[in-house]
Amino acid sequence: MTLKNTDLQNRREQAVPRGVATLLPKFAARASNSEIWDVEGKRYIDFASGIAVLNTGHNHPKIIEAVKAQIDRFSHTCFQVMPYDGYIELAEKLNTLVPGDSPKQTLFLSTGAEAVENAIKIARVATGRSGVIAFGGGFHGRTMLGMALTGKVAPYKAGFGPFPAEIYHAPFPNAYLGISEDAALKALDQLFKADVEPSRVAAIIIEPVQGEGGFNVAPPTFLQALRKICNEHGILLIVDEIQTGFARTGKMFATEYAGIEPDLMTLAKSLAGGFPLSAVTGKAALMNAAQPGGLGGTYAGSPLACAAALAVLEVIQEDNLMARANEVGALLRGRLQEMAEDNQLTCIGEVRGLGAMVAVELVKDREAQRPDADLARAVVREAAEDGLILLSCGTRGNVIRFLCPLTISDKLLHEGMDILHQVLKRLV
C-alpha cells in the first residue's frame, strides 16, 4: 500500500492533539544530509534541520555507525543503576570544550527543557537563593518552569498558568527595534530596584543568540556586562546554548565570541546528531552542590545518544564544521542582501545572524515597526510547495530563520535560496 500525505494528515488529526503543531502536512519517508523525501517521493531541501538538531546533517554515516555499534553492546541500563563508559567519555570531552579555565563537570539529560530545569535546580541549591532572571523574547522550553522563563506568551504560555514564582524578565538588547544595550542594562538595574534585590537572585539565564525570539544576537559587550554584574552580586550566569551550540555560529559555542566563562551552560539539539540528549556543563564546585539522587532521570544520558554525540564531536573537528558554518553564513547573508537590494522586495527589513545562524526580518515597506507575520507564514507555506523547508520565528512572528545542516553543499544552498527568492517575488 502506497502512503499518501493526505491520508496520513487525516490520521494525524484524529490521533494527535492540535497543540502539537505541525509545520507541514507532509510526512517524511527518508532523509540524507540536507535533503528529505516525503512518502509520495517529493524531495525537499532542508533549511530547518529538525529545529537546529542536525548540524552534521541527516544520517551522517559516522554517527549511524557509532549508534549501531552501541546497540550491539546494550541500549539501556540507566546510568544511575549501572553506569557506562560512553557517558563518562562524553562528559570529559564537554568539560574541556565548554569555555573557561575552571574545572567542569557535566550532567546528561534527554531534552533541552530538562537541561534548563536542572541548571536552575543547581543554581538554587548552590546559592541558597530562589530568584531567576530571564529575558524578553527568550525561549527555554515548554515545561512549567521552561514556560515561566520563556519571554514569549503566544503560543508557548497562553492558557497554561499559573507559573512558578520568582521568575523575572528583563529586556533583551535589540538595536533594530530600538532597544539599546545601555537601555537593557538600565532596565536590569531598575528590576533590581523595583522587583527583586540582587541578593535573592540565584541566576541570570540568557541565550547568546535568541532562537525562537528571532535570532537576535546578544552583543559581546552585553554578555561581558552580565558577567560583571553576576560577579558583583554572587549571581550565577547560565548561558543557554541549546540552539547555538556545536559549531552553528562559527565557533563551538557562541559564548566564545564574548570571551566569558559561564557558571553553567545548557546544551542539547545538535549535541547528538538527531538522538535525544541534553546536558548541563558547569563549574565543578557548583555542579556538586546537589545531594546524591537530586539529579538524573531514567533515560538521561542514553548510551545510544552518548555514542552518537561522541561521533558528532569527531565529525565537527574532522569536517571543520566551524569554518564551514562561517562559509554557509556568508553565502546566506550575501544572497539575502542581494534580495534586499531588489526594489521589488521592500519586505526585507534586516538580515542578521552569527555564523550559519542567519535570519531575515520581514516587514512592510522596510519599516521596522510594521512586521509582516502574514508574509512570513505564506513564505514558509509556499516554499514548502516548491521543495524548500523553512521555519519562521520571532516575538512578532515575522522572521524567517535559516538552520540548514552545516554539511550542506553550496549547490543546494543556492538552489534553496533561488526558491526563496522566487517565492518572495511571487508573494509581494
Which CA distances in Å does 338 have to 202, 333, 347, 354? 46, 9, 13, 18
Give residue-wise pLDDT tens across range 202-240. 999 999 999 999 999 999 999 999 999 999 999 999 999
Tell me the CB-side half-sphere exposure of residue 133, using CA atoms within 13 A: 27
Does pTM surpass 0.95? yes
Mean pLDDT over 396-401 rounds to 97
3-class state of residue 167 by DSSP: strand
Q: What is the pLDDT of residues 132-142, one digit of tens each?
A: 999 999 999 99
How high is the pLDDT of residue 23? 87
What number of other Cβ atoms are within 10 A of residue 407's Cβ?
Answer: 19
- d(CA 134, CA 142) in angstroms, rounded, equals 15
pLDDT at 343: 87
How does pLDDT run across 245-266, given as a tens digit for each residue? 999 999 999 999 999 999 999 9
Q: At what angle do helices 410-427 and 373-385 cross, to 10 degrees?
A: 130
Residue-wise burial string across 101-122, b where 16 or more C-beta atoms lie within 10 A, e elsewhere: eeebbbbbbbbbbbbbbbbbbb
**Residue range 153-172: average pLDDT?**
93
Q: Say if residues 77 and 84 touch (Cβ distance below 8 Å).
A: yes
Q: How far apart are CA 405 and CA 426, in angstroms?
A: 27
Q: N- to C-terminal Cα distance for the chain?
A: 41
pLDDT above 90 covers what percent of the chain?
Answer: 97
pLDDT score of 154 = 86
pLDDT band at 2 (very low <50, low <70, confident <90, very high): confident
Q: How far is CA 109 from CA 91, 118, 142, 303, in A?
A: 12, 9, 16, 11
* Residue 329 binned pLDDT confidence (cut-offs 50, 70, 90): very high
The CATH fold of domain 62-318: Aspartate Aminotransferase; domain 2 (3.40.640)
Per-residue pLDDT, 16: 96
- Domain boundaries along the sequence of the chain: 5-56+320-427, 62-318
Architecture of domain 5-56+320-427: Alpha-Beta Complex (3.90)
Q: Is 199 left (phi over 0), alpha (psi -120 to 50) or beta?
A: alpha
Q: Do residues 179 and 172 lie in contact, with contact meaning Cβ atoms separated by under 8 Å?
A: yes
Q: Please compute Rg for the chain using Cα positions.
A: 21
